[in-house]
Amino acid sequence: MSAAEPTSMERVLSALGHREADRVPFLINASLHGAMSLGLSLKEYFSRSENVVEAQLRVREKYRHDFVMGFFYGAVDFEAWGAEVVFYDDGPPNSGEPFIKSFEQIDSLEPPVVSEAPRLRRVLKAIEMLKEKVRDEVPILGVVISPFSLPIMQMGFEKYIDLIYESPRHFDRLMAVNERFCFDWANAQISAGATAIVYFDPVSSPTVVPREMFLEKGDPVIRRAVAGIKGPVIIHMASGRCIPIIDDLAGSGIAGIGVSALENIGEIKAACRGNLAVVGNLNAIEMRHWTAAEAESRVKDAIAAAGPGGGYVLSDNHGEIPLQVPEETLMAISEAVHKWGRYPLDWIENGG
């Protein structure tokens, strides 16, 4: 790296500040590919912090992207409550049987203690180790599942929707308990060295609930989260749409938003109007079948639509790239960002 070239941290901070640095920053969230690179099953891979750290550093070196992540898998937040997680050979671990069987259980529910949850301690150790390696040159992303979305794992989708409509008292109680856990867990990651927290909240997306319900139930939770988490928060809709609620989110204090491939990223960027940084929106499912030329074309289109003026981080739309995506495709994405993402983006005006 030349002396004049910004660090990844400087590049990302410029994007979050709606400024152009040397190029568009990007994230290839190929955490599952890290297990493959080490020759480990996913269960074995996630059993040691050292495995995740080594893989994160390998993936970043290979694809020359701008982040590392302490993220293991989304069901970690569910597992912390003593619940079962199911491991698969070809996909991310997922939550097992919901543990809230009745609304009445919520009355006595208490949040797990972060320091006493074995898997959370492994995540925190991984973040600490990554911080020792990358120091302040590379952003480290921590991850939490929002208090508003976690009940999908805790009690199942149908029962959770029933709760929202049928028992406001139990809903409020569950949000209070989940928020205590969310804030403690997010702040523990920041204390361990995370630069920012990715706040996964698919239930707030208009894909899942109407905007009216979001404004009544989800939006207040987001605002309390921003106030309670002691670092920058990037909300991620995990493939869900966002355009109908962007104006609402812009006033919440979040720094950016992970967006869906179901919406036009140029329209999303225009709707954010310098208030929110945009993260996305390469289709991680279609990516399994892309040729190198198709990968380059998708990257080029995304940069042309969202890159000018900064405020953009190129990534996938879901927050995790499936194992079935070939490494050749990920390399093509990386090469395309380094080719077409250099500021100033003169090729857009010149029809390049």
Helices (H) then strands (E): counts for the chain: 16, 9
Q: What is residue 352's predicted lDDT score, i.e. its pLDDT?
A: 65
| Residue range 268-281: mean pLDDT, rounded | 96
What b-and-e string marks burial along 312-346, b requiring 16 or more CB atoms within 10 Å of the CB?
Answer: bbbbbbbbbbbbebbeebbbbbbbbbbebbbbebe
| Angle value at C-alpha 160, between 157 and 161, nearest 5 degrees | 90
C-alpha–C-alpha distance, residues 201 and 258, integer Å? 10
Is residue 237 helix, strand or coil?
Answer: coil
Query: Looking up tokens 């006595």, which residue turns up?
Result: 108
Single-letter amino acid, residue 66? D
What pLDDT is stored for residue 1 in this prediction?
44
Contact present, 291 and 264 (Cβ < 8 Å): no
Task: Please check the confidence at residue 51 and state whether its pLDDT lies above 60.
Answer: yes
The mean-pLDDT minimum among 75-79, 87-91, 186-190, 263-267 falls in 87-91
| Mean pLDDT on 163-180 | 98
Q: Which two tokens stand for residue 256?
A: 């950016």
Give the model confidence (pLDDT) of 179-196 as tens digits.
999 999 999 999 999 999
For the full predicted model, state whether its pTM sits above 0.75. yes
Q: 190 and 123 in contact (C-beta within 8 Å)?
A: no
Beta bridge partners of 95: 85
pLDDT band at 341, cuts 50/70/90? very high
Return the pLDDT at 3.
54
Domains of the chain: 8-349 (3.20.20.210)
CA distance 86 to 280: 28
Residue 97 vs residues 26, 154, 261: alpha-carbon distances, Å: 35, 8, 30
The DSSP secondary-structure symbol of 112 reads P
Which pLDDT does position 264 carry in this prediction? 97
Q: What is the pLDDT of residue 350?
A: 75
User: What pLDDT, on the 0 to 100 scale, is given for residue 31?
Assistant: 85
pLDDT, mean of residues 143-148: 98
Tell me which residue of 252, 144, 233 sits closest to 188, measured CA to CA.
144
List phi, psi (to 5°) of 86: -100, 125
Cα Dmax for the chain: 63
Rounded average pLDDT over 292-301 = 98
Q: What is the mean pLDDT of residues 342-349?
A: 94
CB atoms within 10 A of CB 248: 17
Residue 265 has pLDDT above 50, yes or no: yes
Model confidence over 231-261: pLDDT tens digits? Answer: 999 999 999 999 999 999 999 999 999 999 9
Cis peptide before 281 (omega within 30 of 0): yes
Minimal CA–CA distance to 69: which of 152, 126, 125?
126
